[in-house]
Chains A and B, each alone.
Chain A
Amino acid sequence: MANMAQAIRMALAYGEKHLGVTDVFGEDVGPPLGGVFTATQGLRTSWNSPLDERGIIGMAYGIAVAGGKPVAEIQFCDYIFNTIDLLKLVGNAHWGSAGKFNLPLVVMTPVGAGIHGSIYHSHSFDSIMTHIPGWKVVMPCTPIDAYGLMIAALKDTNPVMFMKPKALLRTKGDERIPGEPEDEKVLKDMIDAPLGDRTNWKPRWPELTDYTVPIGKAKIVREGTHVTCVTYGRHVHWAKAAADTLANEGISVELIDLRTLYPYDFDAIKTSVRKTRRVVFLNEDTAVTNFGEHLLRRTTEELFYELDAPPRLLSGKNVPGVGLAPVLEDASVPQIADIEKMLRETATVPA
């Protein structure tokens, strides 16, 4: 099975061939490296930029104005913070021009902890990004969803922020990418750049086909009846592990992978919460003005009389960074045991 980096790469290759992608660019995105996570190896339109994040976002904006279809990468979301005003400009170009200009561009950036990235390679970006209207914001948790969400992003005529959960970029899924060969070694030989000299290397892309995960549609990963867990990115997998454990205790967890953070699928949340009457929102961003707080507030306002227990938020601790030592990282972002505990408490607190 393809890993998530390979899936993103294949989606971009599909985009180059079928969806008019003109530029895939950023720091170390082009040859020889093809991205620090290899997600852009071998792409026909990939190129390296100066180490200038503001320049990268500005370039994407300009390419889109001139009719191109750019995919820009910020190497780690930790380095996107100095581009916030440009992200605002991208987000308000359509609104501010009274609909005259739209910017069909994609920005992708790895987010979150999980690779011992220390203070400046572990930040989350969901809360800030969802605070910038005019963007669609997605985050996959499996290679197949990464493929389908990227293709959806490339088809979209609006700016889309594609957040890559960096801890999952090397992980494989259990569904094959459409067109992916059965033998993963064959895939590797076809699309992974060799070590050493890559001067004459070219990828041989599989016969990839269209597969779109609609932006704005959540996925019910696991059906349950006692408590709903709404999450995205790598915490989908941890929540699933926690739900497996709780199932042995007789607690049935309904797990929602939001997949799109904006425009998010509140209908899916409502439907589930009306069934379970209990909900936990889970993510690893810092706690204060967390995106999950918004979902929690809206749930409280719209479903208050249908709840049997206080809705909860389990998030990262509200500290300036994620420390390098494993004990510090584990204490900073929700762990499986933390998720189990909060789901158990929420599922069992008396109505």
Chain B
Amino acid sequence: MQKSTLRPRLEPALQVRIHDLMVKTRCVEERMIKMNRDGEGFFWIGAPGEEAFGVPLGLQVKKGQGPDFDYLHLHYRSSPIIMAMGGTMLDSLRQMGMRATDRYSAGRNFTNHYAIPEWNVAPMAPTIETQYLIAPGTGWVQRRHGGDGITIVNGGDAGTAEGDFASCLIWSTRPGKELPMLIIVVNNKFGISTSHATQHGVRNIADRGIPHGMQTKVINGNDVFESWAAIDEAMRYVRTERRPYLLEAHVSRLNGHSSSSGANRVDEIDCILEFEKQLLADKVRTDAEIKATWERWRDEANACVKQLRTEPFPEASDIWKWTFHDDADNTLAKAGGD
């Protein structure tokens, strides 16, 4: 296991793009929290504090549909990844607002729970860690298919207590059947209210990959430069070697677990502010440009909420839709009585 000390140079234009997406993500999350407080949405859970890791990840995904492209098995703190891949504020806010126009679940799922077949983003569930069981399936197909598409799975530190995480390590390293998987643990050091340090004795979660013969690394996920380089390195390895890589990224959790814990801001390192200091020091951005970026995305978020308020909620009769594939008139769905 390596401790990363990478400090690569990123092109200024890329830095600007990353910053823009980080702010966009933060603004949409903050707007969702406001929707929760205003009674326009129910449960909120999201990713403020994970932008420095998630945006570089999303930008490096080989986006597309089918085994030639990357599959993603995400958890509920993945908005930076989706925003970087091209997700829109409006789509996320529609899900928070439970609209029929919600492209991810038509008003059925919590916010930040995506399902995007055209980008290989598998359906998401709030069951922590089950994604680590599903990911080897797409990895298995990609191993057989060839090419350089990989499977990316991410989850949190607390969930690694589930046996599903151990299963992922085992299934991805079966001798002679190793899978092209980037296995990510985003370590925010908490599971709801419980400190990771009080429940896990392992030095680094990434160390758990070592007995399986995995390449592993622990990084400061609050650092854009370090995150970009580590993801680049890990992806290159998985794409070419067709073997798994376990990457642990330490990040902040800026608004607590979720709306259930109040979603109030806590005193941890804010990766966006840290990045902005760097942008200013390197003269990549000015104060005025940074301020304008925030204003633009906050205005955009507000406009999206205005837009979704005009859009319909699902109909009660919609509950029968999509229980079964190829059941256009919902006959099968109602076979047990309606």
B interface residue count range (under 10 / 10 to 19 / 20 to 34 / 35 or more): 35 or more
Which of chain B's residues 111-128 have a Cβ closer than 8 Å to chain A? 115-117, 122-123, 125, 127
Q: Is B134 an interface residue (CB 8 A)?
A: yes
Q: Is B43 an interface residue (CB 8 A)?
A: no
Q: Is A263 an interface residue (CB 8 A)?
A: yes
Report whether B141 and A67 are in contact in the complex, using a CB–CB cutoff of 8 Å.
yes
Report whether A134 and B323 are in contact in the complex, using a CB–CB cutoff of 8 Å.
yes
- B-contact 0/1 string along A91-132, CB 8 Å cutoff: 001111111111010000000000000000000000000000
How far apart sit A63 and B145, CA to CA, in the bound complex (Å)?
Answer: 12
Q: Which residues of A contact B137 (CB under 8 A)?
A: 58-66, 68, 70
Q: Which residues of A contact B151 (CB under 8 A)?
A: 62
B234 to chain A, nearest CB (A): 20
A interface residue count range (under 10 / 10 to 19 / 20 to 34 / 35 or more): 35 or more
Q: Is A264 an interface residue (CB 8 A)?
A: yes
Report whether A54 and B133 are in contact in the complex, using a CB–CB cutoff of 8 Å.
yes
Q: Which residues of B contact A245 (CB under 8 A)?
A: none
B98 to chain A, nearest CB (A): 12
Report whether B142 and A66 are in contact in the complex, using a CB–CB cutoff of 8 Å.
yes
Q: Which residues of B contact A96 (CB under 8 A)?
A: 105, 108-109, 115, 123, 125
Q: Is A266 an interface residue (CB 8 A)?
A: yes
* Interface hub of A55, A70, A262 (most chain B Cβ within 10 A): A55
Q: Is A198 an interface residue (CB 8 A)?
A: no
Q: Is A52 an interface residue (CB 8 A)?
A: yes
Q: Is B13 an interface residue (CB 8 A)?
A: no
Q: A65-B122, A158-B325 are in contact. Are A50 and B170 (CB under 8 A)?
A: yes
Q: Which residues of B contact A98 (CB under 8 A)?
A: 102-106, 108, 115, 321-322
- B-contact 0/1 string along A233-256, CB 8 Å cutoff: 000000000000000000000000
How far apart sit A134 and B170, CA to CA, in the bound complex (Å)?
Answer: 29
Q: Which of B139, B142, B174, B332 contacts A216 (CB 8 A)?
A: B332
How far apart sit A69 and B289, CA to CA, in the bound complex (Å)?
Answer: 51
Q: Is A57 an interface residue (CB 8 A)?
A: yes
Q: Is B25 an interface residue (CB 8 A)?
A: no
How far apart sit A89 and B337, CA to CA, in the bound complex (Å)?
Answer: 22
How far apart sit A55 and B324, CA to CA, in the bound complex (Å)?
Answer: 24
Q: Is A157 an interface residue (CB 8 A)?
A: yes
Report whether A55 and B167 are in contact in the complex, using a CB–CB cutoff of 8 Å.
yes
Q: Is B140 an interface residue (CB 8 A)?
A: yes
How far apart sit A60 and B331, CA to CA, in the bound complex (Å)?
Answer: 26
Q: Which residues of B contact A58 (CB under 8 A)?
A: 130, 132-137, 164, 167
Q: Is A85 an interface residue (CB 8 A)?
A: yes
Q: A89-B127, A216-B332 are in contact. Are A101 and B122 (CB under 8 A)?
A: yes
Q: Which 6 A-B pairs rank lowest in CB-CB distance, beginning with the nearest?
A: A62-B137, A58-B133, A263-B335, A97-B115, A102-B325, A66-B141
20 contacts between A and B (CB under 8 A): A52-B170, A58-B132, A58-B137, A62-B135, A62-B139, A62-B140, A63-B141, A65-B138, A66-B142, A89-B123, A89-B134, A95-B321, A95-B323, A97-B105, A97-B123, A98-B104, A98-B106, A101-B123, A133-B323, A294-B336
Known A65-B71, A66-B71, A98-B321; further 11 A-B contacts with Cβ < 8 A: A52-B170, A54-B164, A62-B133, A63-B138, A65-B134, A85-B127, A95-B108, A95-B322, A96-B123, A158-B325, A262-B335
